[in-house]
Structure 1
């Protein structure tokens, strides 16, 4: 990464105004020494404490999230907050602790892993399922991390562990600029900075999530007490002061490419000039997860009416989960105009978007972005009880650009028709989403098992050709986010002056070096239809579906299970899931 020299970095200003930042960084400078002295087993015990506190305070966490997002506390949608909040942090801390235990024993986090191969001289690592509980709770779902081409099994095992392979060699102070949408992002990014990169962390919360400060303070107390983490709040001025501070060695952010560029190059005409010339004003490295326009590719095939209804609900969920305020929310559905069931599918998709539960537009600027989409597409349909959902169909190629180049970060979904069939459709769709869509964070593929089998090796080549950090086949890429041992981030290769969906990965609890992507697979049909069609899955409608009637109960039970996995907890989870 190209950065400017230290002399080009503007000095911090307003030090008196930002005394809290100075104090936090001074604490972390001392805390780094404490962190360096901790053994791997001592670090693992701290993670175990964070794990236990996450589950202990999970209800308070969810209550705060419900307030932030204006949800009815009795709504099934509260399940989203359980699963994308404390559940995610509980599973991540457990997995990271297990990796440290293997390193402490002189081994590798990948000892005992299942390796495979993928096209293009790639080695794969199975990251889901990893045990019998995974197989039961996520029946039919799987995930693999594909390593970058040429990395073999022995190299992967040797290099897994990242900075924890030399724990006493700490790497300064990292800043994490937290996201304002999914409540686990900030603590998960903090854990990754601390463990994968061995940097102590100043976490600045997004102002939207400031109500979480008391809960996160309690949850992260073991790391705060040893001086490894400090929590900060404040607006853009605090963030600017913090990232440019001379005591900060690295910045990680989740947000928009515009915010990234403002941090790295500055704003206005001078910022644009610096970006064009690749002359950063940020005198340190930055990693990032920035979203983009995520596609869902629907491969044509023979679908039953039940298949069409279920997959329409699936894609509606990909857009409407968390109100549409997700970095990896599907924004454009790519279909074949030659598919004989196209119209029936679009009618079902329209109905699923229209009938999904109503919710408030809590994320700032949402209504403005929706209005911008409607202005760009005057024939767009307004759906839902409040008309805040937008569906755009029947576009001419000359009308595509706003949909493919603008991340609306709002409940806006478009449909793109390509005039091809069979393998040619898959090839053209991959080329289209690689070349014409901004961002590389995630892509979804929906296809019947019969279609996948009929394509043979062409399907594998299709998946390989997709240049995205997470690829989900008959699943949503959000499953990759929820899988602690999977990687999460953009496809590798972006630079600060063409950042797309960001630089680097997070999560990655197996601490895998040089990953390229995560590939998630799920069942095309829910149980019992999956069993009747001989799919190897007994999963009912997933609890993250926006129309799942028992998602809140299932999410709460899953979080308790993540706190203390036990066979005794499974019947209640299954019973709730089946009623969804």
Structure 2
């Protein structure tokens, strides 16, 4: 369908008049459809990625968890929202803390009993400017939002968020990589199409779509250049997420990290840096260390092992990834080339660049591929001396403002809590993860995702998506977990991961206690599995 006809299908004013009870019915239908068509989504996603790679690196469960779970989790969150609205009130936060004169931290997750079990050591909050104020989505004005789908994931989360959080009708344009999955999403979303609140246009309709004067806003996920071209062609406000060079700040401990702790953190970083072939907007790209940290060499050695041996091969399918890797290798000919699973799979080599000088190519460019760099700063190997300088480096010398992570052991954290909280405040990033990976902020509908670059040079994007509780003036999202959290994603066994992925997909579309028991029980059993690749 062309863009004009797709917009013609929409009735935005009618949607604003749709009752909370009717919206709940639609959400339940969509969740049932995800259960019905989930395997079709996974098949289309893995077929696309493995077809580009020429190797079976993306399993059916891996593709299913990537396509189904984010959308199903958003549907479940929206159900909670509208159940509360039906009861005559907005869902409330867990707590609100005043950070400074005009900043507040609003703790929003986990709230539900099942979430508290699954994420027992996690606390997630949004930081807002000014007195906290919620807006009932039913009271937001009618409008039409164009959602331009990303190429690195086959789930248009922004579609659901625009419809159910922003009260707007949506026309969705897929990325050309995801045209097949989009056809399946159209089947899943048929209840919304029947309500004239959602339509789909063809992948080649981007230019015509973005200049249509009937649009209220445009949601875009992709490259900075494309976002700038859209902004120059239209006056329609663009809410965009364009990636960046995400830091992972490694805080030197007041005490030495144990061997187990070092290996755990190395595997956590390796898992997320490699996941989806590096086409992961929240992946850590630049590790920020102190050159005086006594355990720096031990940590980097553990990271090499984690990247090359402990975690399986992941392939780069995203267009242009090989060229990006080549540009980093040209800039750093001494970079290490690590070959997981003996290099038997194409496009799976990992480039590790250590000892990078600030201000170099690796700090001013985004990889979005299997490249990871380490920058050892000339800063003391203690939290008080290191963290403020590391934050300043991240703010001033790394490309973009999308996502950041801080890894700090529990003893050091307890002794330097004020220093840590100041670092969280000072980091000019839309997402800050403490002892967690920022990708999970993106996946949490209670939180926000976006560069929030208002008033700055355009790199990572402006505005944000998400915000289930509908607070105004959100500055950033903050997720924290324990240093050795059992919830960390550690990809060390293919069968265990596939079991977890399949169970998560089942629970997401049918969140029963039985499915949660299967998920958690199998996770405990599979934690004892040894390497199987």
- So what's the TM-score if we normalise by structure 1? 0.84
Residue 472, structure 1, aligned to residue 394, structure 2: no
Residue matched to 1:264: 231
In structure 2, what is the equivalent of residue 372 of structure 1?
A: 327
Residue in 2 that maps onto 1:566 = 512
State which drifts further: 57-66 or 253-262: 57-66
The answer to whether structure 1 residue 291 and structure 2 residue 231 are counterparts is no
Going from structure 1 to structure 2, the CA distance change for 1:78 and 1:486 (only over 3 Å counts) comes to: farther
**Conservation of the 8 A alpha-carbon contact between 1:77 and 1:546:** no
Q: Does 1:417 align with 2:376?
A: yes
Equivalent position to 2:318, from 349, 356, 363: 363
Note if 1:124 corresponds to 2:114: no
- Counterpart of 1:175 in structure 2 is 146
Q: CA, structure 1 residues 123+80, in 2 after alignment: closer, same or farther (shift >3 Å)?
A: farther
Partners of 1:79 and 1:447 lie apart in 2 by 32
Deviation at residue 214 of structure 1 after TM alignment: 2.6
Residue 66 of structure 2 is aligned to residue 95 of structure 1:
no
Q: How many residues align?
A: 513
Deviations 1:404-433 (A, max 9, x none): 221121111100001222111101000110
SS where residue 406 of structure 2 aligns?
strand
Q: 1:81 to 1:151 in 2, by over 3 A?
A: farther
How far apart in 1 are the matches of 2:451 and 2:356?
28
Give the alignment of 1:372-521 within 5 angstroms: 372-384=327-339, 385=343, 388-397=349-358, 400-420=359-379, 421-422=381-382, 423-491=384-452, 493-494=454-455, 498-521=457-480
Is this contact kept in 1: 2:281–2:439, CA < 8 A?
no
- State the 1:119 CA deviation: 4.8
Distance 1:132 1:37, change over 3 A: closer
- The answer for the alignment partner of 1:14 in structure 2 is none
Bigger Cα displacement from structure 2, 90-99 vs 252-261: 90-99
**Equivalent residue number for residue 216 of structure 2:** 249
- Relative to structure 2, which stretch is displaced further, 404-413 or 355-364? 355-364
CA distance in 1, matches of 2:194, 2:317: 34
SS class of match (2:239): strand
After TM superposition, the structure 1 stretch with the greater mean CA deviation from structure 2, 460-469 or 486-495, is: 486-495
**Unpaired runs of at least 5, structure 2:** 528-533
Which among 38, 45, 51 is matched to residue 31 of structure 2? 51
Moved more, 302-311 or 242-251: 242-251
Deviations 1:238-286 (A, max 9, x none): 2111111233332110001111012222xxxxxxxxxxxxxxx312111
Shift of 1:79: 4.7
Q: Distance in 1 between matches of 2:101 and 2:48?
A: 45
Cα displacement string for residues 359-394 of structure 1 (whole angstroms, at most 9, x for unaligned residues): 332111111110011011111111121563111112
Instruction: Describe the SS at the equivalent of 2:356.
Output: coil
Residues in 1 aligned to 2:72 and 2:490: alpha-carbon distance in whole angstroms: 17
* Counterparts in 2 of 1:290 and 1:24: CA distance versus 1, 3 Å: same
Q: Secondary structure at the match of 2:511?
A: coil
SS of 2:2's partner is helix
**SS state of the match for residue 108, structure 2?**
strand
Give me the whole-angstrom Cα distance separating, in 2, the residues matched to 1:73 and 1:394: 33
The C-alpha deviation readout for 1:410-460, integer Å capped at 9, x for no partner, is 111100001222111101000110111121111011110011112131221
Distance 1:455 1:524 in 2: 15
Q: Find the residue that maps to 2:501 and give its secondary structure.
A: helix
CA separation in 2, counterparts of 1:120 and 1:445?
25
Distance 1:25 1:383 in 2: 48
Partner of residue 168, structure 2: 199
> CA separation of 1:96/1:467 partners in 2, compared to 1, >3 Å: closer, same or farther?
same
Alignment match of 2:43 (pick from 57, 63, 66): 63
3-state SS in 1 of match to 2:203: coil
For residue 215 of structure 2, give the secondary structure of its aligned residue in structure 1.
coil
Aligned counterparts of 2:27 and 2:65: Cα–Cα separation in 1:
19
How far, CA to CA, are the matches of 2:507 and 2:74 in structure 1? 13
- 3-state DSSP class of the match of 1:371? helix
1:67–1:299 CA distance, 2 compared to 1 (3 A): same
Distance 2:493 2:262 in 1: 15
Q: Distance in 2 between matches of 1:57 and 1:494?
A: 43
Note if contact 1:76-1:550 (Cα within 8 Å) is conserved in structure 2: no
* Shift in CA distance, 564/320, structure 1 to aligned 2, threshold 3 Å: same
- CA shift, 1:548, in A, is 6.0
Residues 146 and 79 (structure 1), Cα distance of their counterparts in 2 relative to 1, 3 Å cut = farther
Q: Hey, what's the Cα distance between the residues in 1 that align with 2:235 and 2:452?
A: 24
Deviation for aligned residue 1:474 = 0.7
Q: Which residue of 1 aligns with 2:199?
A: 230
